[in-house]
């Protein structure tokens, strides 16, 4: 069996009844034992998925979506087969970033095909959990669907905790004068928006599943229990959606505050520069007065007033000092100096 096939089993009454050696033998084993088949794949090749498509009559459009990947979270129905795309996530402490994965699920009346496109979530752990609780596994493909949804939503909890910690750090960083905070706010806002795109569709998807359970199975005890289980997952999803909305609003507020602080700093800088300009201009005007008088008497004309007067030099000095002193007094009164 290829390494892309993680596990392939047929379950009857919550117990593993067969483990077909190849994908092509899965339908035959299912026909022999009854129950339902659960195939787990990791980044399968087209030939493998086409084998399963032929065995379980999967719709070509859904198969194409599963092969292409990079799909939005959604729930579609093709006859008796449901096709779901989930966007799991995990928080990477080393880089303080969120890594998003993708899981495609084909859920029919007697089969589940789970395709994982990234390292998370650990669907092998989901299978192990279900095999340890035969009552839940005995509910069939919808029981498996619930368990996978529950795991994906549970994995959002540490992501939300990591984002909350990042936002707390940003709030402290805002007033530190670190200009790198702008980039961090933008990056974090992008991750929060991606979380919203991954989680928000789950609300409608789970409500649809609960409605279909009620329509198809009515008051059947097993279906009622599954509806309660889906309701529990839905409550957790709504909680994540609300927190993501709050995070996005907080980041928008942080960006606004940061812009205000930057503008304030720029204004303070402009005011400081203006004060310096006024001081320089004031001293330039004060120095200009003596320079004007000395410049005039330095033109070396023969006929100029007071050149022969013994009081000319003292009067020129007094005039320069008086002019400069008057300007100094005016500028000082206006707080320019």
Fill in the DSSP letter of residue 23.
G
* Residue in the block written with tokens 């088949």: 37
Higher pLDDT, residue 276 or 207 = 207
Q: Are residues 167 and 311 in the same domain?
A: no
Kindly state the average pLDDT of the residues 13-36: 93
Mean pLDDT of all residues in 148-167: 94
Task: Indicate the pLDDT class of residue 304, thresholds 50, 70 and 90.
Answer: low
* Same-domain status, 290 and 209: no
Task: Specify whether 87 is located in the same domain as 236.
Answer: yes
Residue 31 has pLDDT above 80, yes or no: yes
> What's the whole-model pTM score?
0.77
Tokens 């006859």 correspond to what residue? Answer: 79
Is the same domain home to 322 and 246? no
Would you state the structure tokens that stand for residue 117, as one six-digit string?
């496109």
Last residue of a domain, one of 232, 263, 294: 263
268 located within any domain: no
Q: What is the mean pLDDT of residues 79-105?
A: 94
247 and 288 inside one domain: no
Residue 272 lies in a domain: no
- Does the pLDDT value for residue 99 go beyond 90? yes
Give residue 311's domain range. 277-333
The answer to whether residues 41 and 101 belong to one domain is yes
Cβ partners under 8 Å of residue 103, min gap 6: 85, 86, 87, 88, 114, 115, 116, 117, 121, 123, 148, 152
Q: Indicate the residue among 263, 289, 315 that finishes a domain.
A: 263
| Domain match, 230 and 196 both | yes
Q: Provide, rounded to the nearest whole percent, the portion of the chain with pLDDT above 70.
A: 82
Clarify whether residues 105 and 201 are in a common domain. yes
> Residue 38: is its pLDDT beyond 90?
yes
Residue 160 and residue 37 share a domain = yes
* Structure-model confidence comparison of residues 104 and 324, the more confident one: 104
Residue 293: the pLDDT is 66
Question: pLDDT digits over 167-219, tens only?
Answer: 988 877 877 767 778 888 888 999 999 999 999 999 999 999 999 988 887 77
Distance between CA atoms of residues 213 and 155, nearest Å: 25
310 in the same domain as 228: no
- DSSP labels for 209-220? HHHHHHHHHTT-
Residue 2 has pLDDT above 60, yes or no: no
44 contacts 4 by C-beta, under 8 angstroms: yes
Tell me what the pLDDT averaged over the chain comes to: 86
What is the predicted pLDDT for the residue at 1? 46
Q: How confident is the model at residue 306 (pLDDT cuts 50, 70, 90)?
A: low
Give me the CATH number covering residue 207: 3.30.460.20
Q: What is the CATH classification number for the domain harbouring 282?
A: 1.20.58
Share above pLDDT 90 across residues of the chain, in percent, rounded to a whole number:
55
| Mean per-residue pLDDT, 1-9 | 79
Task: Say how far apart CA 156 and CA 215 lie, in whole Å.
Answer: 30
Is residue 223 within 8 Å of residue 213, measured between CB atoms?
yes
Are residues 325 and 257 part of one domain?
A: no
Higher pLDDT: 205 or 302? It is 205
- Final residue of a domain: which of 263, 297, 316? 263
Is 117 found in the same domain as 93?
yes
- pLDDT at position 19 is 94
- Quick check: helix, strand or coil at residue 109? coil
The count of domains in the chain is 2
């Amino acid at each position: 069996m290829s390494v892309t096939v993680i596990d392939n089993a047929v379950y009857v009454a919550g117990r593993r009844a067969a483990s077909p050696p190849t994908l092509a033998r899965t339908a035959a084993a299912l026909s022999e034992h009854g129950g339902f088949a659960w195939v787990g794949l990791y980044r399968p090749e087209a030939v493998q998925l086409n084998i399963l498509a032929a065995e379980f009559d999967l719709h070509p459009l859904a198969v194409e979506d599963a092969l292409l990947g990079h799909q939005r979270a959604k729930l579609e129905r093709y006859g008796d087969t449901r096709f779901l795309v989930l966007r799991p996530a995990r928080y990477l402490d080393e880089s303080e970033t969120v890594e998003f994965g993708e899981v495609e699920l084909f859920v029919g009346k007697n089969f589940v095909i789970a395709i994982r496109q990234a390292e998370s979530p650990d669907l092998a752990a989901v299978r192990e959990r279900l095999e340890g609780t035969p009552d839940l596994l005995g509910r069939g493909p919808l029981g498996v669907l619930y368990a996978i949804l529950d795991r994906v939503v549970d994995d959002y909890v540490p992501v939300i905790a990591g984002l909350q910690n990042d936002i707390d750090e940003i709030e402290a960083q805002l007033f530190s004068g670190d200009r790198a905070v702008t980039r961090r706010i933008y990056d974090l806002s992008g991750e929060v928006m991606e979380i919203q795109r991954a989680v928000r569709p789950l609300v409608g998807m789970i409500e649809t599943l609960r409605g279909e359970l009620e329509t198809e199975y009515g008051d059947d005890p097993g279906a009622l229990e599954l509806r309660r289980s889906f309701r529990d997952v839905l409550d957790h999803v709504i909680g994540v959606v609300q927190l993501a909305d709050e995070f996005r609003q907080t980041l928008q507020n942080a960006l606004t505050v940061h812009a205000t602080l930057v503008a304030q700093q720029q204004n303070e800088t402009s005011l400081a520069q203006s004060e310096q300009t006024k001081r320089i201009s004031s001293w330039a005007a004060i120095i200009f007065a003596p320079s004007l008088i000395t410049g005039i008497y330095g033109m070396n004309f023969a006929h100029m007033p007071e050149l022969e007067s013994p009081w000319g030099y003292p009067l020129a000095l007094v005039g320069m000092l008086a002019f400069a002193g008057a300007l100094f007094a005016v500028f000082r009164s206006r707080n320019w100096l």
